[in-house]
Structure formats: structure tokens, C-alpha cells
Amino acid sequence: MLLEFSATNFKSIKNTQTLSLVGSSLKGPHEPLDVDFPGDSYGILPCAIIYGANASGKSNLLEAFRTMRRMVFSSHSQPKKNKGLTQEVFLLDEEWATMPTSFDISFIAQGVRYDFGFSFDSDSILEEWLYSYPEGRRRKLYERVGMEIQFGSGMRGAKKQLVKFLKKTSLFFSTATQNNHEELNIIAEFFSKIFMSNRISVASHVLNISFKENEIDERTIKFLNLIGTGVDSYRQVVSDDVPDEAKAMVAEMVTLFNKHGSSDVEIEMPDNFDKNMEIELCHKNAAGSDIYFGVDLESAGTRRLLVLLNSVFKVIDEGDIAIIDELDASLHTHAVEAIIQLFLDPEINKNNAQLIATTHDTNLLNPMKLRRDEIWFAEKGINGASEYFSLAEINGRKEEIFEKSYLQGRYGAVPPSFDTSNIKVGLDQPKEIKA
């Protein structure tokens, strides 16, 4: 379970910004998740829904999380020595171009709280730290400065021998887990089970590939039926064999990508590539008979829901975390509300799963559904840097209508107001061309 995530000097994020899923003292339409942890006062929240104008930095906060996770798993296995690190700094202040980027996260794994983080520049990992709270008090597992690491007494398993494999561009955590360090593998599992989606649209061939092995969850079909898509069931059919020429071409592309690509992770040939498998969704005609449609005939929203919901139900079953960018893309507001409700309902979300999502759907700003501390805003300051804050930090009236107040600009995090009648005048003004 996620408690807090912080990022510094990453894309539009300049000074340290923190997203917290620790509850506040404010009352709301539902209670926080029933979990105790060190320092707990008001519980942990099942969701954080992030609003903000276009280009306010909503997605950058999620991308910071994605970058941290990528470095956790791949920093030790970068294919080229002395390659350095990819650092995406805040570009609107020259002083920050040479300053480090840092990520810091607090979470609970197997009932124990951990604080983990690191800082780096384009050349190397500068600092790294890991603490745990097995008896409610913080203990040091390790602290790193440059290539020097100090281990705490609570750090079990291999330590000093792993330092021999450490590179300046690799995290000790990544080095240890790739050498199967038992204690740190607990934390690696936490990161590996996080579902992240920034896919706004899903093409039919992508959906067919996605379900070559994983069957569609029957709850996904029921969900689609309940929101009125007309989908009643599905089937998977083999259309034809993949031509040998196509298989050879894909194999060659995979080889070339792994040899010359810049990715930190090696890709493999897709499983079950011998057959073309296609998903067909069943609808009822006027006589009540089954009619199957290929997914290319389904709406963009239906295709996206098929992929999202299958993963969402897995997250809920296992008590993991779903991080979804633009949750409302191609989806009706009622469908989005229903997805969020899956996490808010304790009878459905029995294992304390969490949802972090960005959206523009203001219909969700409902005090009867979301708590003030579950609603977050992203806003760019006059210096172009993104700032993040929750509605719990803003004083409001007891009977306040969240959506109305937000659209009126009382919370900030909305585009600057302007007279729409002046749009044509503004667009017609000649653009100054610099020599």
C-alpha cells in the first residue's frame, strides 16, 4: 500500500512535491482503509484523483513514479557501461539543469512500512536510502553516498559482497534484487505488482495480442453489460496462422532493437506468436440470438475498458495499486465513477487496493462520493513549475459543491479565464517572428 510519493527536479516538477494517501482528520462519505501503520493517525485512503488544467503536470507526477520503478528494476542491467543516466530536469530555471533528481516513497509491504528513495544526476547515483519500521520505529537498512554504503544492523542477507557488483549508475537495490536478495525481494515485489496505464486508446490488434494468454475476467464482461455497452459474453477464435515471413520479420526487429536500442530492458518475442488469435464480443439481436463482433467494430471506450478492467480486477483481488493516466479518456462519466467505486466499496475492495488517477471529469467532484483528501489538484506557478495539493488543504464550507467551486476557480488548478468572444481576435493577431 502506498503512503506517500515525492519527486524533485523532474520535468515540470521543480521543488519537492508530494502525493499522499494518508488520510486527514476531515470526515467524508466513507472511512479510510482499515490498516494500521507506524505514525498512523487517520488511516490510508483507497484513492487519489488528480485534477488540473492541460499541461499542469498531472501526468508528470505519474511519469515520475514510472521512472522510479523503471530504475529500480533496470539500473543494474543497463547494456552499455559508462552510459550514464537519463535525467529529465526542470528546464525553466538554468540553475536546476545541473541539480540532482530525487524520488522518495513510503509504502507498506507484507505488513511492514518502508521508506525508500534515491537521488541521481546524468552521470551517477548520488544517494540512496532504505529504512523499515518492523516494530513501529524506524531502523536503517542501508544508506548510500556515492559508492560508499553503510548497512544497518537490521539488514539481513548478502551485503558487502554485492557492493563489488555495484556500478555508479546502478542502484544498490537493483543490484541486490537481481542477485536474488531475499529481504529486498519483498520490496521488489511491491513495485512489480503496481499496474500502470498511460494508454489512452487501444487498437483492436493490441487488444487481441493482450488476451492471447490472459482470459477476459468475467467481471469485466458483467461490468460492460451493466453500463449499457450491450456486451453479453466473448469468445476467442483462431483466425489463421501467422505467415513465416511475418514471424521472421518480427524476430529480426526484436534482435535489432535489443542490439542497438536505447531501452534499459531487453524485449522478447511475443508468446504464442504462431497463431492469429482474435477476440469477438457477443451482443444479442432483437430475437435474442447471439451475434459476435470483432473488437475492431467496438467503440474506443469498450476496447479501453476491456484492457483496463481486467487489470483493475486483478489489482483489487490482490490488494495492489493501479495508477491510470486520464482515466476518463473515451469513457462516459458513469463508467469512470463505477471504476472508482470498485475501490471505495469495502465489500468489493476487501484487500485494500488503491487507485491513483488523473482526470478532467469534474462530475466526479462529488462530496457524496469522494473525500476532500482524495481529491488532488495540479497547478503551474508563474515560474512554470507544477505544484500539487489536496482539497483537504483548502478551507471550505460544509455544504460546498465541489464541482461548482472548482469550475469557478476557487481551488485553482484551472486554465486562466478569458472572454471566449475574443478568441478570433487573438488568433488573427500576426505572430512576431524573431530574426
Per residue in 283-326, pLDDT (tens digit) is 999 999 999 998 999 999 999 999 899 999 999 999 999 999 99
Joined grid coordinates for residue 276: 492469429
Best-predicted range by mean pLDDT among 27-31, 99-103, 196-200? 99-103
pLDDT tier, 137 (very low <50, low <70, confident <90, very high otherwise): confident
| Contact status, residue 335 vs residue 228, Cβ threshold 8 Å | no
Q: What are phi and psi of 390, to 5 degrees?
A: -100, 160
Per the prediction, the chain carries an average pLDDT of 87
According to the model, what pLDDT value does residue 83 have?
66
Angle, helices 333-344 vs 300-318, to 10°: value is 0
The average pLDDT across 8-23 equals: 97
Q: Counting Cβ atoms within 10 Å, is residue 210 exposed (0-12), middle (13-18) or buried (19+)?
A: middle
Which of the four pLDDT bands, split at 50, 70 and 90, describes residue 251? low
Helices then strands, each counted (H, E), the chain: 11, 16
Share of the chain above pLDDT 90, in %: 63
| Domain range 1-194+320-435, its CATH number among 3.50.50, 3.30.160, 3.40.50, 3.30.1370 | 3.40.50
Beta-carbon contacts of 119 under 8 Å, excluding residues fewer than 6 positions away, are 8, 100, 101, 102, 103, 125, 126, 127, 128
Q: What values do phi and psi take at 245, rounded to 5?
A: -65, -40
CA distance 144 to 129: 6
Between 34 and 3, the higher pLDDT residue = 3
CA gyration radius for the chain? 24
Contact status, residue 255 vs residue 267, Cβ threshold 8 Å: no
- DSSP 8-state assignment for residue 130: E
Average pLDDT on 218-242 reads 87
Residue 262: pLDDT above 50?
no
The pLDDT > 70 percentage for the chain reads 84
Q: Name the strands in the sheet holding 125-133, side by side, starting at the edge strand that comes first in the sequence.
A: 17-20, 2-8, 101-109, 112-120, 125-133, 139-145, 148-151
CA–CA gap between residue 353 and residue 53 (Å, rounded): 28
The sign one gets for the Cα dihedral 300, 304, 307, 310 is negative
The pLDDT assigned to 82 comes to: 53
Residue whose C-alpha cell reads 462529488 in the numeric block = 366
In this predicted structure, which of 151-160, 231-240, 241-250, 367-376 has the lowest mean pLDDT?
241-250
The segment(s) of the chain belonging to CATH 3.40.50 are 1-194+320-435
What is the band of 242 on the pLDDT scale with cuts at 50, 70, 90?
low
- Please tell me the predicted confidence (pLDDT) of residue 171: 93
Task: Determine the Cα–Cα distance for residues 296 and 191; give it in Å rounded to an integer.
Answer: 33
- The set of residues, in sequence order, having a beta carbon less than 8 Å from that of 153 and lying 6+ positions away, is 139
Residue 238 — very low, low, confident or very high, per pLDDT cuts 50/70/90? confident
Query: What average pLDDT does the segment 177-193 reach?
Result: 86
pLDDT over 80 at 426, yes or no: no
